[in-house]
Structures are given as C-alpha cells and as structure tokens.
Structure 1
C-alpha cells in the first residue's frame, strides 16, 4: 500500500466517521475532506472543483427543479387527492399508496414523492383511527424502492451512470434500470404490504395519523365558487364531504352578501357563492386546487381573484411597531396598493370570522395573507409585518398542470429515444417551465437541495482520486481474494452486501461514489462485464432500510411515525435480504458476465 493510498483511506475513514457522528453537516464534512485532499496532494488543484461541473451533479439539481414544477402545478397533489377517496384495509392502503409512491419516485425525486403523499397518508390514518406508524414506514420504503426504476429516480443511479460513461464511454439510458429495479421494487412492495407492516413494533404512544408538520394553526377563511368549481358536488352536503377529505370544514355559505339561513346540506351552490371554511393553510390550498375554487379578491364584496402570477400564502405577526397596527387591511390599502389579500386572522388564539378587511389590526394578531411572490418583500416592508418562520406556502398553479405534465413527459421521451441527453432534456424543461409560468425565475434556485449538490461536488473528486491512486483496485483485489475459487456471483453478492451496509450508516450518494469505482475494478480483477457490478452498487446503495439515517426518507418519517432508532431493522432487514435474493440472479440474467 502506497503512502497516497494510506492517506486517502485515512481521509475517507475520517469523513465517514464524522458523518456518522453527526456533529457537523455532511456537506461541510465532505467539502472539508475535499480541501484536505487537495492540500495533501491527493486531488490535483485543477480537479478540485470538477465534481461541481460533473453531469451527475447537474442532473441531480435539474431533477429537483423539474419535479418541483410538477408539485407546484398541483399534478402530484391531484393524484394524491384521488387516492384518498375510499377507505381501505391496511394492506390495501399500503399497496395503493406504496405503488403510486414507487411509480412517482421513478420520475421525480423520491423525497418529493414522499413529501406529497405523507400528508394524505396521515389524513387517512386520522380518519380511520389508525396509527401513523403502521403506514408511514411502508410508504417511505416504497418511495425508496421506486427510485430504482429509472435513471433519474435516485442519485445513485445517476452516479453509477456517470462512472460507466467514464469507463465504457456510454452512460446508462433512461430505462436500463427498469428490469432489475422494477422486479426488486415489486418484490419489496409485495413484502411490505403483505407482511412487512405487521413487523413494525407498536408503542403505547402511537396515535392514529400523527402530523407531519407538528401543530398547525387553523383559520376561518373564504373561497369563491366559480362556474368550474365543484362540478360533481354542487349539493352542499357533497361539498362538505369533499372538503372533509382535504381536512377542511365548511361552516357557512354567503350568497349576495348574506348568510344562507337554515339547514345547508340540501341546498345547491351557485356561481359567486362564498364558502366559509375552517382550515389550515395547506389544507385550504389543496381543497381550492382540487375543487377549482378561487381565492377572494379582498374587496368588501369579494369576487374570484384572478391570478396573473405565482402566489404565496404567508403567515405574519403584527408587531407593536408595524405600520399597519391600528388600521384595517382595507384602510391601509393592502388589496389596492400591494395586490395582497387578508385570508385569515387569529387574535388571542381565536380565529376571527367576520369582516376581515375591516377589522382593526392589533399588535399580536396573526394574519394569513395571499401575496404575489414578486411583491412579498415590498408588502412586508411597507406594513412592518413579521413573517413567521416556516409560515410560507407556495400556492399551487393548477391551471399549469397539463402544461407541466406535457413538458416533463416530452423530455422523458426525448431522453428515452436518445434524441438528446438527459441533462439537455431537463435543462429544456426548466426553461419551458419559466416561459409557460409553471415556475418563476425566483423559485428555480429555491428548489435545489444545495447540501446534496455540495456533497456530490465534493465526493466525486475523492472517489476519482481513490480510483486514480489504485485504492479502489486494492479493495477489489481483496474482495476477489476472499471469493477466489467461488463463482463470480459470490463476489457480486459480497459487494452488494457491503455497499448496503455502508449505505445504512452513511449517505447513499457518498456510498455510491466510494463503491462504484470498486465495482469496476472488481469486475476487471474477475475478467467479467462490469455492468452487473455497477448495477448491483446502484441497487444496494439505494436500499438503506435498517436505520433512520440511511436515507432522507427514513429520517422524514421518524417523528411523524413515532418511531425509535431500532424500529427500522425489523422490517428493513428482511426487506434487504429479499432485495439481495431477487437482485443478484436478475443482474446476472439482464447483464450477463
């Protein structure tokens, strides 16, 4: 072992140890490791930042933005809303939600897929009195499995594709991962739905349908009925049923400036009616989007607001020094001067119901505002309102749903039939999203997970250095010696087992960067085609089911599901064994050695 190899192994060991320790963020640890490698001469100065320009890093960033457009257009929320329409048993619920989550994860970031489906899962659990822990872990695992279906489903697939391009001169295509990844996902989902969820321990603290966002403030708000609203639910009884499915309660209806008197359930809604609702901001926008309702325009006699650009729902606090304190939204000119609407108002912990535009605002009031994205800063500066941390919600742009789906679908087809490369196709999606109003220019950078980008940009040069110094060949040689005299599939299984274990305790992207060059050198040592070994690394690195730190989806459900650190392996360990049993023979069939 050379001096460079020893230093690089020691540096990578320190990086892994610091990531496991968790005292500092993984992106800072990776970047510090890169700087140390440059100072030690292990990575050439000219190559120090090559990882940030690597196609893999760019694709990950572009995928995050592109899938944000699908989310913002309401396409994913509409699908999730349709899924929650009927009560099902736990097995049926997991099969449906897990299947849809896996399918979504094949074409969008699996963290975003989980984030969209998790509130619907929790809401369904609350309605049925079912513990959130019984379905959240299966949903998270299903979205992880679904990432293995396509090239863009999960970063490990993109990373191994980049290594293949470097070695064989050609990256993987969009659906090269489908034969093995699809079989593994199907087998894994079947196990999760039929058996796996029964292995999740139940605690005394479990309560049906925990809340992913912690306690949320409810407001009494209004929405306007238009000619396209609630087309199948114009009977108020039906509208109430549809609203309850989104976590919204209809408490009254105003028609031509007066409350409708008497029992509401058997009356029909008319265009221009004002629905009085009690809801959280997120549920309000979901119900508005799926039912084609409109926000009010903030006038004394509200009409449907016309949205010419992206909107945000923001929660603000009226401070003592606020310019708007002691005045009403109407007298201050919020609607006329700032195109902003007071949607809800809470005072002393109570949601106010009547005459919000004319209410004199007091210090300590909490306001739910609808504001054009381009005017948020100006409105806050003019009024002196304080935006609450975490109190902003982009409003879905459902009128762009078909456009977003069409643009994204065309890009996938173009990359699939090799009309262009995936980075170029995704880049065109981003440009089209901006031109057609799916996303604003200001939003583009907000949807990039910059810590992941820094991690990839820092670790890729270190992974290449491991290969350049002969370190990966050294590891491959050790694996080849251990399996000497045995079939090549034994070496593949050992490589996948080691990768899977490392991914359970380390970020899956970092694991892939370390394991991918090892797999290539191991294939060279054995004199076989490296594709099966590269694909094995992609599958194994994605399947991190033993701990809450192996994958971000596992971490997201830890609190809402009321899980403990040791709960994951009970379903995760047999799932990883099933993955190995299914993946190894299929890899040898689809990618012959």
Structure 2
C-alpha cells in the first residue's frame, strides 16, 4: 500500500475509535478527521470545505426547516385527532402511531417526525394505562423505516444520491427509494406492532400508573395559619425557603375565596388556609414547628388547583429543553418561570424524591401550575411540550394547508425534474419563512448544526478514500471474502456489514465510509453500481441493535426506561426482516 492509503486507513480507523468511544461529539470527530486528511495532503486545502457547499448538506438543512414549519402549522394536532378514536385499544393505537410516524418520516427528517409524535404517544400511554416501553421503541424504529422511502427521509439517502451522481452522472430521484423502502417499512411496522413490542423484557413492561400518575391528593395538606404563627406576614417564597423548599404553596384560601398559584411575593396572613404540596414527612415537620394547624373544614383535590385563570398542565421535557441536567431547586422554577412544579414522572412512574433535587431528563413528565394566559409561552421558554389533547385551533387549518401546499410544490418540481433537491427544498424553506410559518430566528434553531458539521466535514474523508484507492482496496477484500460467489451474496454481505457498522457509528458517517467501497465493488465486478448503493442506503439507516446507532433510538432510550440490550432483542429480528425483504427487491428494481 502507498503512504496515502496507509494515512487514509489510519485516519478512518482513528475516526471509528473516536465515534465508538463517544467521549468527543461526532461533529468534532468529523472536524478532526478533516484536519487530518488535509495535514496528510489527501485533500487539497482549497477543497477542504467544499463539503459544506455540497447539495446533500444544503438539502438536509432545508428539510429540517421544512419539518419545523410542518410542526408549527399543526401537524401534531392532526396526529392527535387521528389517534383519538383508538383510545383504550393499545395495540391498534400502537399500530396507528407507528404507521403515522413512518409516513411522516418519509417526507420529513425522521428524528423530527419522532419528536412530533413523541408527546402524542406518551399522552396516549399515560391516559390508557400502558407503559411507555410498549410504544416508544416501535415509534423510534418506525421513524427510521419511514426514512427509507424517499430521498429526503433520512440524510444517508441524500449522501448516497450524491455518490451516485459522481459515479454515473445522475443522482437518485425523490421516489427512487420507494419500491424497496415501502415494502421494507410495511414489513417492519407489522413486526413492531404485533410482535416487536412483546419482546421488551417484562420488567420494562410492568403496569403503568397511568390515570393516577399525577393524583397528588395524598400529597396535599390544608393548614390554617394560627395566631402567633411564625409565617404571618412572610412572603410565599420565604415560607417555602423556611422549609428548604420541600413544600410548595399551591393555593391560599382567604375570606371565602382562593388564590391559586400565588406569586412568590404574596404575603401570608393570620387565618389564611394554605394548601401545601409536598412529601408527608416534610408537611408534618412544618405543622409541628410553625404555628400551623391542620384544617378540617377544607377538602382539596387536584381539580381544585386550576381555574380559568390558573392552568394545571402536564408537559414533557423536550429534547433540547433548557431544564435538562438542572434541578428544580437550582432553576428556582417559581422565580424563573412563574410556575409551581407539583410532580415529576419518569418512565411511567411518579418520582417520590424531593422535587427540588430531581435533575431533569429528556422525556420527564412535569405537572405544572401557573397562569393560564401565559402557560403556552412559559412551556416554550422551558423547552417543554404539553401532553394534553388539543383540537385544531382557529387559523391552524389554513396554516397547515399553506405549509403542505408549499411542500407539495417543492416535491412536484423535484419529481418533474424542474429543479434539483437542494434548490427545491431551499426555496420551500424560504417560502415558509416569508409566510411567517417559521420565524427567521426559528429557522436557524431548527437546523441540527452538529449533523450539518458532520456532513460538511466528513465528506472529504470519503473523497480521500476514493482518491487514494483505499476504497477500491477494501472493495477487493470484500469481493475476495465472498469466494467468487454470485454478486447477490456480495450485496447481502455489504448490507449486513453496513448495518453493523451503523449500529455503533453515526449513520451519516457510515454512509460516507461505505459508499466509496460499494462503488469499488461494483467496478471490480463489472456490474451496475445502483444495487450496491441502494444496499448501503438501507444498511446505513437500519441500525436497530443499539440505542446509539440512530438518533431516534437515543431519543427514546431514557423516556422508555429501556436497557441497552433491549434494543438488540427487539432490533435483531427487525434487521433480519430488512435484509430478507430488501435484497430481492433491490435485485428486482435495480438489477446488476
């Protein structure tokens, strides 16, 4: 081997180690690899950043903005309405949810589609009494399967299309993936809905607390402020601080009226009845030491904690919430956001720990009390999504129709070969901004910048593999490993190897690594490269054995309460199904 080939393999091996080690984020690893190929002279300096101008990078960014536009237009409301008739029917509900996320993923970024459906799925499982572990893994896997159907469903498809353009002069079209992707997705969804969820170990499928998840009546105590009490004339926040914030003042009853979610500066008066929420031992401590007495004349339940002015809302901590990693105590929820946090649920169970010490995770469910008029803005500021069922609001149908129309025009222009994908979808993203469906600042927030950096920086590494002949060398090894068997076995082996590599690497990085090898194999065998590129597209996305292989799996790992091997147990049969269904279809629609 030449020095350039040794250098290319060394950089690739180092990148793989860093990707698997996962102590350095994947976009930083991609930048390290880019600097390495430049330092070794494998890529000219003036071509170092051409990856950021590559159509694949631009297309992915535009699709992410379009996904945000569809979310803003009300696609979640429609999803909620579609699943509503299946209330109380877990299997039918799971099937419909998985089909919906699969369909959405075909036309949106698959991680974005999962993020849209996740609150709907959690609300349904808590309402109907089955644990999140039943539905979240099928939902995540369904979002991956949907990405197989179209060019824009998942970034690896766009990457593979770019390699095809370089190899044969023409990229894959919008629906070229559909003849293989649709049957694979259907087979996968059937497996997930009727078999896959049953393979989740029983200790992750235990009974959900569901309807009583936030039944906090046992945690509510009414106390009367007696004459001489040391809390008289104290502000609410001082009363809570006096007892180390182990309790929350959720209401003040005074003179026949009630003041729900009182502000931190509201003062306590003699004769007030305070409705306190907290652990029983903390409440007992307060009563014993503060000149307060249990009130026998007042009965309070959860329904009494909300009114037209005060909302009681269940909300999920979203993927990029500012709450993640912080505790309620450090955030000072009442002061910072103007809300009371009354309860936290995780993995389908209410947490009985001291609320002020709980560090929030993605997927946690919060019970919040605060001003109804500003609750929507407050949840947005916190990075939380409401779980309550909503109907399509006034003006939403028009926005949804407009957003859908813009997207349809872009797809039609692409199918008619009027414009390439990166132009059509960039125009659609711009139209969504100009029509105020997506705010300009929100458009930048919608882009997953680590993915964009990975696409722009790691592309030249794939180019270096081709330019140095390293990809052709690996292709020769794989061809030799099949011992002169029919090309179909080489194709199958290539797909399986790609799947296993994607199970431990970012799927975009896997596509960049394996696509040049696929082209080398096709060239060595003297056959059409299309079936091999299609095998890479399927294999790079179908990473079901680990929670780190695909972002969708990572998103549901904690909310579902899964263990690492749960993904292997459910995912291994699914990967086998994907290979068994896709290989014959590839040979049918993309023959050698």
The TM-score range, normalised by the shorter chain, is 0.7 to 0.9
Q: TM-score if structure 1 supplies the norm length? A: 0.72
Cα distance, 1:77 vs. partner? 3.1
Cα distance, 1:368 vs. partner? 6.0
SS in 1 for 2:382: strand
Task: State whether residues 81 and 120 of structure 1, in contact with CA within 8 Å, keep that contact through their aligned partners in structure 2.
Answer: no
| Matched residue, 2:167 | 167
| Matched residue, 1:462 | 461
Number of residues of Structure 1 aligned to a counterpart in Structure 2: 465
Cα distance, 1:187 vs. partner? 1.0
| Matched residue, 2:51 | 51
Alignment gaps of 5+ in structure 1: 222-248, 255-273, 284-314, 323-343, 351-364, 377-386
Residue deviations 1:545-590 (CA, integer Å, cap 9, x gap) = 0000000010011111100011111111111111111111110110
SS in 2 for 1:557: helix
| Matched residue, 1:104 | 104
| Matched residue, 1:443 | 442
Task: State whether residues 101 and 139 of structure 1, in contact with CA within 8 Å, keep that contact through their aligned partners in structure 2.
Answer: yes
For 2:28 and 2:437, how far apart are their aligned partners in 1? 33
| Matched residue, 1:33 | 33
SS in 2 for 1:24: coil
Cα distance, 1:251 vs. partner? 6.6
SS in 1 for 2:86: coil
SS in 2 for 1:278: strand
Of residues 172-181 and 29-38 in structure 1, the stretch that sits farther from structure 2 once superposed is: 29-38
SS in 2 for 1:409: helix
Is 1:72 the counterpart of 2:63? The answer is no
For 2:204 and 2:196, how far apart are their aligned partners in 1? 20
Task: State whether residues 500 and 540 of structure 1, in contact with CA within 8 Å, keep that contact through their aligned partners in structure 2.
Answer: yes
Shift in CA distance, 366/42, structure 1 to aligned 2, threshold 3 Å: farther
Cα distance, 1:131 vs. partner? 1.4
| Matched residue, 2:518 | 519
For 2:536 and 2:453, how far apart are their aligned partners in 1? 22
Shift in CA distance, 518/349, structure 1 to aligned 2, threshold 3 Å: closer
The root-mean-square deviation of aligned C-alpha atoms, in Å, is 3.3
- The correspondence of residues 115-514 of structure 1 with structure 2, limited to 5 A, is 115-203=115-203, 206=206, 208=208, 277-280=311-314, 345-346=338-339, 391-392=382-383, 398=396, 399-514=398-513
Task: State whether residues 148 and 185 of structure 1, in contact with CA within 8 Å, keep that contact through their aligned partners in structure 2.
Answer: yes
Task: State whether residues 529 and 592 of structure 1, in contact with CA within 8 Å, keep that contact through their aligned partners in structure 2.
Answer: yes
Shift in CA distance, 209/145, structure 1 to aligned 2, threshold 3 Å: farther
SS in 1 for 2:85: coil
For 2:432 and 2:372, how far apart are their aligned partners in 1? 26
Task: State whether residues 124 and 209 of structure 1, in contact with CA within 8 Å, keep that contact through their aligned partners in structure 2.
Answer: no
| Matched residue, 2:560 | 561
Shift in CA distance, 168/71, structure 1 to aligned 2, threshold 3 Å: same
Task: State whether residues 51 and 57 of structure 1, in contact with CA within 8 Å, keep that contact through their aligned partners in structure 2.
Answer: yes
For 1:109 and 1:209, how far apart are their aligned partners in 2? 33
For 1:580 and 1:281, how far apart are their aligned partners in 2? 39
Cα distance, 1:388 vs. partner? 9.9
SS in 2 for 1:547: coil
Task: State whether residues 132 and 207 of structure 1, in contact with CA within 8 Å, keep that contact through their aligned partners in structure 2.
Answer: no
Task: State whether residues 75 and 405 of structure 1, in contact with CA within 8 Å, keep that contact through their aligned partners in structure 2.
Answer: no
Shift in CA distance, 127/367, structure 1 to aligned 2, threshold 3 Å: closer
Runs of at least 4 residues off by over 4 Å: 204-207, 217-221, 249-254, 274-277, 315-319, 347-350, 365-373, 387-390, 392-397
SS in 2 for 1:438: coil
Cα distance, 1:91 vs. partner? 3.0
Cα distance, 1:276 vs. partner? 6.2
Alignment gaps of 5+ in structure 2: 215-247, 252-259, 262-301, 318-330, 344-367, 387-392
Task: State whether residues 73 and 401 of structure 1, in contact with CA within 8 Å, keep that contact through their aligned partners in structure 2.
Answer: yes
For 2:503 and 2:590, how far apart are their aligned partners in 1? 26
Cα distance, 1:318 vs. partner? 6.8
